[in-house]
Amino acid sequence: MLVATLSATARAVPPATLNSAEIAAGLRYGQDLEEGGLNPWGVGLGVGAGYTLPQAVYFGAQFDYFFGSELEAPAYRLKGSYWEALAKLGYDLGLSDQWVVRPGLAAGAATFRSELCPPAPEACSKSSDTGFVIAPGISALYLRPSFAAGVDIRYDVVFTEETDANPDDNTEAIVGAVSFGF
């Protein structure tokens, strides 16, 4: 019996983000995972900042605002929007001197705002519900000396109290982002 063994030397590439601060802003899109009805995420905007330690551990903060959507029925109109403020923790993996992949976890506060209007607009009622959000995700960053671009995707789970506007005690969404920064 003949056995052949191939050996390859693995070379770790230090992430280009080591010992550096990041500031970025960009577009967001979130899709509610509940069946039918209102999507309080939709298109949004976000900003974030963070720092990667020499050990490739990333600490950051992010604020996202989602414009939401509107649902119309013969007896009412329901509008909803959503914002979240997150603390982020990640680990940077260097793929090359320009590409970094960052798996991570975010947690913070999230608020769902809604407005319910019957046919008479003067009878509209507004409400908001704030809860704890936890969001595992992954980012891919392309870095140049004075410019950075990134995409990320995360799974948001928002734990809230049951209300008329939110009959479930938690809400789940897939959120994607495209950001540019320096």
pLDDT tens-digit map of 13-67: 899 999 999 999 999 999 999 877 788 899 999 999 999 999 999 999 999 999 9
Mean pLDDT, all residues of the chain: 88
Domain-located, residue 15: no
Q: How many domains does the chain contain in total?
A: 1
Domain-located, residue 90: yes
Domain-located, residue 1: no
Query: Residues with Cβ < 8 Å from 95, sequence gap 6 or more?
Result: 13, 101
Residue with tokens 């603390």: 87
CATH number of the domain where residue 42 is located: 2.40.160.20
Domain that holds residue 51: 20-171
pTM of the model: 0.86
Domain-located, residue 142: yes
Angle at 149 between CA 148 and CA 155, to 5 degrees: 130
- What's the token pair of residue 5? 């063994």
Domain-located, residue 9: no
| pLDDT above 90: residue 150 | yes
Domain-located, residue 66: yes
Q: What is the Cα 19 distance to its own chain's centre?
A: 24
Domain-located, residue 178: no
Domain-located, residue 182: no
pLDDT band, very low/low/confident/very high, at 6 (cuts 50, 70, 90): very low
